[in-house]
Structure 1
């Protein structure tokens, strides 16, 4: 009876409208004073003290507002939600070309301050465009989602047994049901299609006949949905690190696992070329064998240290093997030390990297990622299987196929027990300009997803020869091509990426001081209430992947 009530409530309140309704009256934005941010908040965002004045100068130029939208577009006069947005008006001497909205991914990530982030990192789109940031429904300054406290605990060190996996699965079901049932109408309305409709209300409220858009990771899925629902309202659109065009978490997890292993093979070859420095093997096969043995032995006998809060087990080795190339010069010494580490004290590189954890964000810091919204967006649209057997059997196959990185994957169906109905959006080919940049070697958004998305909706593919998630917004040469596209309509088929380091020295990351505020890779989606796992720390200012799902979550 409870389940039927939840389903009927979601169908009544959260179901998308059959068509994209034209608004009878222009929606109104309530403009207000922007929030202020302390120095501690700016440091938590990755800014250096020297950059505070520039951030505050740009904040002084920023307009902050809110907009009311229907919780359900099937009932436009019913319950309303608040969407928070920002506008950084165009400054260039040449003619203004319109408004350009930005989404950093997630789902569940805040884009409120992203116009400032882009300007501070040298993405010069503000000359002829008003940059529009916004928090999607469920996130940040918008009407926020929150689940009851969860019961899922991170597995202890060592291999995950079937018994333990079934216990996690059981708790995931309980947590998901408790989350959805806490506010089924609201949680059922957290869909990409509804965010697209919210975005179109922002467009209308700004007085724009068409909207330009930049999205990365999940933000690319939002872009494809917006373009499918409102094809005549898109001016120019660039989607970077393109998401899977069919929202199925089983396909999503498998695709990322395959791409992670492909990139690890590149890493193994890179380490082999530097065997004199790292001593892990003089050929790719030897390095793979060394790391396979390390993963197996540390699973059998996890290692702890007296001076660092770290447990080395097989999952940590899998995490390390799943990192992008910018981190390899720092990972090489870590693996070299772990090859023969015995404790009780941590070796120097491990102590340096893992010894100091970043402080938690200040209490007044704006929300960067909302795990409850992340859960709802995924589970309301996941059309894949959710049985324990389907996820566990796939996980076992990955352990065999990918002996180093396979353990970094999900071993349970993340949406198990989510009681609200699946809501799908059919993607459509349409006219209009669209650029899809895919990264040949990255694992969070494998390159083949870019080609699959082009087949589903059209557009032009831009190939980036790197393994970095969302690097189109980080690499100056690619940013230049992006600006040419938005300002002059010039298309390109290639974009420079982040080069593979050619030495054992840690390389500076591309971009400028606020780089940490731009989208970063997350290996797997977040689970509400799940304690953070052993994520490899930030390297060179770029946030690395997380093998086990995390509470806070990073843009993905």
Structure 2
């Protein structure tokens, strides 16, 4: 799934407080022999100022962050590893809660569902709600905000196995021989990983995370949960709503996942959307030809970037200050950036037209120099658990493409999408995964549901929002941008989110992140 791409996770801490009482019968649905779950409250982790800043909290918000953390409750809920065996092995789910500030008019609890699969959500009550902007801070007035690390992630029970990225690839066009080598290396690593702890890894599914969340609901004494989901968290929201329709309140899902779990189709759809969105970038650059020099028309810009892709594939460059070689795939990566990075992407593409010397041009280095999965500072919370990401994706992948199918798919991507197609690898993540396919059954519901689709983004293609509405119902909220999960970050849109949770009503959409001037 495209939800493998990590969002920035942020963190801090405090002392645990006393749990709300658990109502009688709250354990319903946990299994006939399961005891009613409860929260074991404890002190929150303590983070240094260096860790706080490294996680994305700007200097002007550090004090406010620490003030919020003094209100945060942290704890764990014990759940069955296998929900079909409620008296068997138990694992811990790390949870947090930021209690509503207006207790007299409290409306309930909103659970924040993180992306991934594999992203943490432990500090989302602060970072995705109270600290994000003044509009989102308003959500905490009448709602408790609940965060959690899904099973296999962060402070929850997890395992780890070496993750293969298919082995190193020589710069330049991907050949069939090299692709086969990468595929076989991926298959061997996947088989080794899946067999390392099948009892645990086989239980890493979206449906099991949903069942964990329902036990968290019970432990926190809530009769219903309202849901605020992002990226993969939108699929988690669909599954929770399908399994527990009577326990689901209002749900707002941003950057909606498709109602299916085929990795090959996921890459195919995302690649098409990325190429289409480049047309918007090309038009933007053409209107600024005096600045970027890539062409005065959309067609000229497109032709110029295709030339760059081919030129750097023919003659890749290795810079002394850049770990990644610059070939056609790197150029294509720059070309598929969203609108928040158009100015820098255009400058980097312009730099590559005339680049000389042994060091990378400054903007190229800025955009291509960062590592996809940076190593956090000591003491920082885990941002993305790659083992959980792999296990959930492969346990649910309905395609599991063989090499010949994956190779044909890759060739089609490159042919159909000459600008951005090279940025995609083989559309096969799960060769060799030894555990059986497990897919959740989505059900159409009548409860309140808003599906926020972004017109031009490729990580969650807008058409997937429409497919999801046909599958499970709900109201489409259209965000006219290309920025993944931007809704709560844009004040105008965030105000709509909060209004929805307070009133149950929502507008038809918002403009989203502005295009740079």
TM-score normalised over the length of structure 2: 0.90
Counterparts in 2 of 1:21 and 1:113: CA distance versus 1, 3 Å: closer
Q: Which residue of 1 aligns with 2:15?
A: none
C-alpha offsets along residues 179-211 of structure 1, whole Å, 9 cap, x if unaligned?
Answer: 111100100000000000000001111111111
Q: Superposed, which structure 2 residues align to 1:375-524 within 5 Å?
A: 375-502=390-517
Counterparts in 2 of 1:354 and 1:73: CA distance versus 1, 3 Å: closer
Question: 1:167 aligned to 171, 174, 181, which one?
Answer: 181
- Unmatched tracts of structure 1, length 5 or more: 1-18, 503-556
Deviation at 1:94, TM superposition (A): 5.1
Question: 1:119 aligned to 121, 124, 130, which one?
Answer: 130
Counterparts in 2 of 1:170 and 1:310: CA distance versus 1, 3 Å: closer
Q: Superposed, which structure 2 residues align to 1:128-527 within 5 Å?
A: 128-148=142-162, 150=164, 152-350=166-364, 360-502=375-517
C-alpha offsets along residues 153-185 of structure 1, whole Å, 9 cap, x if unaligned?
Answer: 231211111111101111111111111111001
Q: 2: distance between equivalents of 1:419 and 1:142?
A: 24
Q: 2: distance between equivalents of 1:136 and 1:72?
A: 14
Q: 2: distance between equivalents of 1:151 and 1:437?
A: 31
- Unmatched tracts of structure 2, length 5 or more: 1-27
Deviation at 1:21, TM superposition (A): 5.0
Superposed structure 1 runs of 4+ greater than 6 Å apart: 355-359
Counterparts in 2 of 1:342 and 1:471: CA distance versus 1, 3 Å: same
Counterparts in 2 of 1:430 and 1:360: CA distance versus 1, 3 Å: closer
C-alpha offsets along residues 45-69 of structure 1, whole Å, 9 cap, x if unaligned?
Answer: 0122332222221111111010111
Give SS of 2:95's match. strand
Deviation at 1:344, TM superposition (A): 3.0
Q: Within the alignment, does 1:77 sit opposite 2:87 as a pair?
A: yes
Give SS of 1:100's match. strand
Q: Within the alignment, does 1:110 sit opposite 2:120 as a pair?
A: yes
Give SS of 2:452's match. strand
Question: 1:40 aligned to 50, 57, 68, which one?
Answer: 50
Q: 2: distance between equivalents of 1:365 and 1:225?
A: 30
Q: 2: distance between equivalents of 1:31 and 1:387?
A: 47
Q: 1: distance between equivalents of 2:312 and 2:229?
A: 40
Counterparts in 2 of 1:425 and 1:97: CA distance versus 1, 3 Å: same
Q: 1: distance between equivalents of 2:86 and 2:503?
A: 38
Greater mean alpha carbon deviation, residues 279-288 or residues 345-354: 345-354
Greater mean alpha carbon deviation, residues 151-160 or residues 260-269: 151-160
Q: Which residue of 2 aligns with 1:16?
A: none
Q: 2: distance between equivalents of 1:151 and 1:231?
A: 38
Greater mean alpha carbon deviation, residues 383-392 or residues 81-90: 383-392
Give SS of 1:490's match. coil
The 8 Å contact of residues 468 and 498 in structure 1, kept in 2 or not, is answered as yes
The 8 Å contact of residues 440 and 466 in structure 1, kept in 2 or not, is answered as yes
Deviation at 1:390, TM superposition (A): 1.2
Q: 2: distance between equivalents of 1:365 and 1:51?
A: 18
Give SS of 2:240's match. helix
Greater mean alpha carbon deviation, residues 139-148 or residues 49-58: 49-58
TM-score normalised over the length of structure 1: 0.84
Give SS of 1:65's match. strand
Give SS of 1:312's match. coil
Q: 2: distance between equivalents of 1:168 and 1:345?
A: 29
The 8 Å contact of residues 163 and 387 in structure 2, kept in 1 or not, is answered as no
Give SS of 2:253's match. strand
Give SS of 2:230's match. strand
C-alpha offsets along residues 481-520 of structure 1, whole Å, 9 cap, x if unaligned?
Answer: 1111101111221123011112xxxxxxxxxxxxxxxxxx
C-alpha offsets along residues 411-464 of structure 1, whole Å, 9 cap, x if unaligned?
Answer: 151100101011111111112100000000000000000000000000000011
Q: 1: distance between equivalents of 2:237 and 2:469?
A: 13
